[in-house]
Structure 1
Amino acid sequence: MTVNRGLSTIHTRQWAAWAFLTPVTLYLVLFYAYPLYRNLDLSLRDYTVRSFVQGDAPFTGLHNYRTVFDDPAFAPALLHTVVFTAVCLVFQYVIGLALAVFFHQHFRLSATLRALFLVPWLLPLIVSASTWSWLLNSDSGLVNALLSAVGIGPVNWLTSPSWSLASVIIANIWIGIPFNLVVLHSGLQSIPAGLYEAAALDGAGAWRRFWSITFPLLRPVSAITLLLGLVYTLKVFDIIWIMTKGGPAGASTTFATWSYQLGFGNLLPAFGPGAAVGNLLVVAALVFGLVYVRVQRKQALS
């Protein structure tokens, strides 16, 4: 009797566990697994508007990927994606780390000022992008007005091929700094204060304490910060599309905006090539994620 009751309790707990897992599983399947499958299917078939509705698109294998690689826009879009991602990551991390160390001093009003730095992160992206579009406007923008005040001529930030990519990079850096600040500041909280006190007694200056204590102990937090920043920056679309639409003449086109242009930006949408470009972004994010996991495992074993 006791054995049966014990088995009944085990089965009850198992069913309860599955009941708790079911909503999460359904969410992952509906909003992650199925969209990824559909995007892969789109990239392997010759979809038109009619076949997209009727579902009878012929299978073409890797033809869409070959079309993307042979497209003259591929190399510039790849270069812009790499430059946009790398520059944003470096400046967001460096500025975020500097602010995190600054606010770690716990001076008066530090909490209030730190909260104000979160505003760019909390604003909707459409608001942030529209604000930067106004600031960088060639005719009535505040930035050009300030440049004119110091004797510098106006710059066509959003309409010049030489400046459009730099403009969207500046805007995205501004948006991403608060995230780096919050995560890195939380990492600083976990470093024992005794280490700094011991280093100060040994005569170590501020720079020496930073490079010998702060930076090495922040490596795990820095790694996850850079990884999440990389995944986010790779797929940035809103900022670029609202500010420049990838132009002029493709000067600020990245894989994210190019994928949208191929799939939805033309009268005759190229669903297959657009999905193929999107899958390239997914693969890139996956590769960097696997690299991060491998590095973390090596660090744990060592």
Structure 2
Amino acid sequence: MTAEADGKTQGGKARAPRGDKAGAARGEKEGAARGGKAGAQPGGAARARRFRDETRTGLVRRARRMNRVLAETYPDAHCELDFGTPFQLLVATVLSAQTTDKRVNLTTPALFAKYPTPEDLAAADPEDVETLLKPTGFFRAKTKSVMGLSVALRDRFGGEVPGRLEDLVTLPGVGRKTANVVLGNAFDVPGITVDTHFGRLVNRFGWTAEDDPVKVEKEIGEMFPRKDWTMLSHRLIWHGRRICHARRPACGACPLAKDCPSYGTGPVDAEAAGKLVKPGPFS
């Protein structure tokens, strides 16, 4: 069943996502500040009603329209972790927890030069691996995970990274997020990567009210064709890193402003917002 058809079976009304009321209230306030002309700019009472009364079909159309804008904005969006093999991407993704891709990319060359295969890393001296991984933070836990998954790859998968989600999530330190990163970028198997940026943006956009990553993955997956999942993930992550920041999003510089119910969370003045934009790259 398509998302549009699903909307009809539910009476045509979408569940009001958590961000909508706050965004609507901000819209009304901004409209009044501009002289009460609702709809003249992103804001105002008309804007508030638009998101409050949005149907499921309208939500899906808006989400897909926003994805098209993101595709135009970030034509080069890609995974910002450096890797040459599925094994390298798997390890790099595990290491990226609680740190930046840039830090991981500075750390992995020495790790992979010394331990290029699962067999090599599985037989490594843990203290040596800890020393190499220390810059990434939580290095003892990460050492345990990357060595553990290397042992599992050696003993259960013939030293090869499996290309199925149900196999990947059995590896130490590997959850659905990591598995989808590996599947989408190393095997071209579509997957939705619900990281911090992705989860924040889909809530701000009013695409979902869910917080649980698995539920978010399911809800968003139902709104987009499967073939779009991997690139959708990249675009949202890029947008979250560059414009839609956690604390002060650059709303006045955002190409999605007219379709975002949370417009106004950050400064709407173009000059002030422009100073918040982080052009990247983050790799």
Q: TM class by shorter-chain length?
A: 0.3 to 0.5
TM-score (norm 2): 0.34
Comparing both chains, which one has the higher relative contact order based on Cα–Cα distances under 8 Å and sequence gaps of 6 or more? 1
Give the number of the structure whose alpha-carbon radius of gyration is greater. Answer: 1
Bigger helix share: 1
TM-score (norm 1): 0.32
